[in-house]
Amino acid sequence: MRFVPTRIHGIADWLLGALLIALPWILGLDRSGAEGLVPMGLGAAGLAVTFFTDHELGIVRRVPMVGHLWVDGLSGALLATSPWLFGFADRVWMPHVILGVTELIAAFVTQLHPSDQAARGGMSGSTRV
């Protein structure tokens, strides 16, 4: 069931984080309202978590992949439901739902351990080689 390598997930993380931050400018969303602030905030948080995740594209590898995937799942669920939670579904909802569901699915299909973990000598928290 978990067939996406953590390296691929890491690439997607960096790209999705940047896309979410840029989404209000790309789609002309209100950057002072929830329709723009939610994706920008989740994008920034996603980049921060990715920076600290123990996978091949993490910079400071301290957050275990399992924890990262929990954050992705919760973030995706929040993004997908945000148009109704924050009351802007009458203006825009599709990009939030598509990207949120994509992130949620990624949390369920990504492998739990980076491929280079054994070569680094153990579990998360190890220093990067």
What local confidence, expressed as pLDDT, does residue 117 receive? 80
What local confidence, expressed as pLDDT, does residue 123 receive? 55
Which pTM does this prediction carry? 0.90
- Evaluate if residue 35 carries a pLDDT over 70: yes
C-alpha 119/C-alpha 3 separation (Å) is 20
C-alpha 126/C-alpha 13 separation (Å) is 21
Element (H, E) at 89: none
What local confidence, expressed as pLDDT, does residue 118 receive? 65
Domain ranges of the chain: 6-109
Token output for 97: 């739902």
* Residue located via tokens 């998360």: 124
